[in-house]
Amino acid sequence: MEGVNASFKKGPGLYEFLVEAELQQYFNSFKNSLKITHPSQLKFTTEGDLLEIGMSKPEMRRLRKYYEKHFPS
H or E stretch at 72? none
- In 3-state terms, what secondary structure has residue 23? coil
Would you state the pLDDT for residue 4?
44
Q: Which domains does the chain have, with CATH numbers?
A: 2-70 (1.10.150.50)
- In 3-state terms, what secondary structure has residue 41? helix
CB-based contact 38:13 (threshold 8 Å): yes
Q: What is the pLDDT of residues 14-66, one digit of tens each?
A: 999 999 999 999 999 999 999 999 999 999 999 999 999 999 999 999 999 99
Would you state the pLDDT for residue 25?
98
Separation of alpha carbons 51 and 1, rounded Å? 34
